[in-house]
Amino acid sequence: MSGAEKNDEAYMRLALEEAATAGAEGEVPIGAVVVCDGEVVARAHNSRETDADPSAHAEFSAMVAAARELGRWRLTGCTVYVTLEPCLMCAGLMVNARVDRCVYGAADPKGGALGTLFDVSHDPRLNHAFEVTPGVLADESAELLRGFFRERRAARRSSRQTS
């Protein structure tokens, strides 16, 4: 494994920690970190329910926080690590923020916009292209999601039985 790959896994572990925090809060467990010049400048997790905000996806919140931290809207030089393949909104923000790279864990067959359903990272009609590294710690990311939905289904079943 190259040094760069090792770093990708280390940063993805931080994103997975964020995902676990989201799960503990009753949110779909997705986490993200933004790294600029080798430093973590922001980390965030999905908080759609808590914030009642349809834009509160992990990587969206992390990019907004990173821009505030860096004091610039352009995230040139930044890599976004996120446990699940970004949706159209988040991949769109990556284009608008001019990120250098996105590294994601599990692919999302229901909404993935960096290679699965769409690929906005290299669309010649858009004014920015960026590098994508898929599948980093994908099994861990997918297992967190599966576990969350399994528990939620079980909880629904038992609440139906008692009511």
Q: Which residues are catalytic?
A: 59
The rounded distance, in Å, linking the Cα atoms of 141 and 83 is: 6
Cβ(132)–Cβ(111) below 8 Å: no
Q: How far is the CB of 154 from Zn ion (least distance, A)?
A: 27
Q: How far is the CB of 90 from Zn ion (least distance, A)?
A: 3
For Zn ion, the closer of residues 36 and 63 by Cβ is: 63
In this structure, the number of other CB atoms found within 10 A of the CB of residue 99 comes to 26
Write each residue from 56 to 75 as x if it is in contact with Zn ion (CB under 5 A), else as -, in one continuous string: -x------------------
For Zn ion, the closer of residues 35 and 82 by Cβ is: 82
Q: Which residues pair with 34 in a beta bridge?
A: 42, 80
Instruction: Assign 128 to helix, strand or coil.
Output: coil
With CB under 5 A as the contact rule, which of the stretches 19-27, 53-61, 76-84, 145-153 interacts with Zn ion?
A: 53-61
Helix ranges (DSSP H) in the chain: 3-24, 48-51, 58-70, 88-97, 138-162
For Zn ion, the closer of residues 53 and 123 by Cβ is: 53
Site for Zn ion in 104-163 (CB under 5 A): none
Instruction: Assign 22 to helix, strand or coil.
Output: helix
For Zn ion, the binding residues (CB under 5 A) are 57, 87, 89-90
